[in-house]
Each structure stands twice: as structure tokens, then as C-alpha cells.
Structure 1
Amino acid sequence: MYLIRIFFLIGCLTIGNIAKRNKVAESFFKEEIVPDLIDSPPEKKAIVIFQPRVIVNLGNKLKPSEVQTPPFVTYPVGNKKAYYTLAFLDPDAPSRQNPFVKTFVHWLVGNIPGTQIHMGNTLTEFIGSAPPPDSGEHRYTFLVYKQLRKIQFNETKLTTANFEERKNFSLGGFVEKYNLGTPFAGNFYIAVHEN
């Protein structure tokens, strides 16, 4: 009887962990980030918090005025000596209904040691969300990739002045070029134009 209870508890814990992982995947499928931006959803949730205490939570709605400074981002890491890449993207530029620009890169950092984003190589400086008027909802998406090793990135660094160069970012091309595979963690919020 004792063994049956142990197996039952282990089963419940396993189902609980699967349910948490599935909630992330389910959210990415529900908002069609899969397949619009990525082919497979992340398994884990990245924690993203803008100041002061504006929390990103798998598709919650945030105001552009709340997300104008780089957020605190963390994610579960098994090996703190591993390197990671963080991408923050808007796949709905200029609108989800008419995405002729498609993916706009808001922030891109590679070679992050563990979760120390400030120690990584900033490839594209952070800029906040600014959905245009009458463009509907935008799915602002954070994706974290685990690198196989430290990478020598040969991308042109984009600053806040490089607005046009941020358009038509090919996430698939970037991921393939640097052999990043599938994102292991992610999160996203939805925002609309704010007067």
C-alpha cells in the first residue's frame, strides 16, 4: 500500500510538471506564435518583469507605456556555465492582419552566461513596444535559446537609431546560421496602440 501511494504521488508530480510545460506550449499555439514565428513552442516559461512590477504572463495585455525600458528576464538553467541567446520580437509588424514587414527585432543578446543578460553580447539594443495606430494586437515575444558553445556573432550591431534595419528580421535564418535549435524558454504579451 505504501508503494502505491508513493507511485501515485510521483505520478501527480509528473502530471503537474507536464501541465505547467503544456501551459506554455498551449499559449504559444493559442496565439499562433507557433507557426507564425517559430515551428515548435518552448517547454519552459521565461520570467519577464518590466519596472515597476509589470509582469509578462503568456499573452496578458500590457500598455506600451509600461514596457519602454529593458525588463528583468530570467529562465531555468541547468548548467550555469552554458551560454544563451535572448530574442525579443514583434511578429506582427506593422499589423497581424497585414504583416508585410513581418518580424521586427526589439532586442537581441547572445553569449549570455547563464542568466546574466548584462554580461552577454548585445547584438540589437532594446527598444520598447510601439504598435502603430489601427494596427490591432501585437504579440511581443521573448525567446531564449541554449547555445552549444560561445558564438562569434558576425551581425551588425543595431542601436536605437537603427529603426529600419530592425524590420524583416529572419529569426529562422538567424537560428539556422548559429545552430540554435528550438527555443527552450519563452513568454509573450499583447499590446495595442496607446495614445
Structure 2
Amino acid sequence: MPDVKFLSVLPTTASASNRVTKVSISGTLLQNPQQFSVNFVNSPDCTDNITYHFKVVIPTKTIIENYKRNGEWSSLHQEQHLDIFNGTGDSAKNPTLTQSITLIMNEIDQALQLSSTETTFSLEFAFNYDDSKMLVYHGRDAGFNFITQYETLFSLSDIQAVQVWGDVQKVSQFGLTYD
């Protein structure tokens, strides 16, 4: 497994009214990237419990979402065969979902700006504590476009750190937003 390319420990707070609500990450990928992932881990020193795992597999144009509990990946992972690179989705799985996704694919394609030759990414992860869901957006000059949402097994309050893995050259920007 590749090494962690970036790690940030999140500030802790006892107050629910002053907690992290968004994490923004921008960076540069290696030349001809194959994949990269962002993990929201329950301990900065151990990856046995990952509340939310977001992975982009570039050659297959797939987004994989998952969690890890006690060192084991869940078999209930969510995999979306979204062609976020040219604006088409996988219509065979869910026509209603695909119709909604297709409406935003052109914007997502422009927002992520990844192909086998592109080298930058910009993502925003919004914490929905009430429903224990992570919402993911692609960043662009005009703002952020919705990509996906994932219901987590662990409480979002358990997240202690953010890790970036894979074919990432560097993280150029990392930001936190609070309640």
C-alpha cells in the first residue's frame, strides 16, 4: 500500500456548536495518476478504524466509498461508475439516480479536471452530523458541485484526522470550516 502523502490532525472540541463542518483539500497529482484517496480516520496513528474512505480510480472512472472497522474493510462499500471525466454516468444501475447525475456531470467534469494527463484536484467534504453523512463536492472557480453522499457507520465526531493517499504529489491547500 502506498504511503500517506498528507496527514492533518483535526482540532478537538467538547462543544457540538464549535466543530468542523467542512474540510477542503486541493492538490497536485503525479503524472499519469491511477488513483488517490482521502481517509477520515478515528486515530492519526492507526488506520484500523476509518469513518469515511473516498477513493477515485482514474482509469476506470470510479468513485469508491467505504469504511474500515477493526482493520477490516466493509463489504458494504458504495461504488459509483461515474464518468466524472467526460460527463456520462452508468445508466444501467439506477435510471432515476443516473438522470440526476447526468445533469451535473458536465459541471463535475470541469470541476475535477482529471484525466490521464490532468494533475490537479479540489474537493470539499461536508459533515452532516445529524444524519451521520459525509457529502462530497468538486471544487471549481465558481464554487463547489455535489458529487456524492455516504452514510457512515461511525459517528462523524469520532474523526480525529484526515489522510491523503495514492498518486498525490502534494496537497497545496487544506482548509477547515466550523459551525
Structure with higher Rg: it is 1
Q: Which has the higher contact order (CA 8 A, sep 6+)?
A: 2
> Is the TM value for this pair above 0.5?
no
Q: Please, what TM-score do these two structures have when normalized by structure 1?
A: 0.26
Q: Please, what TM-score do these two structures have when normalized by structure 2?
A: 0.28
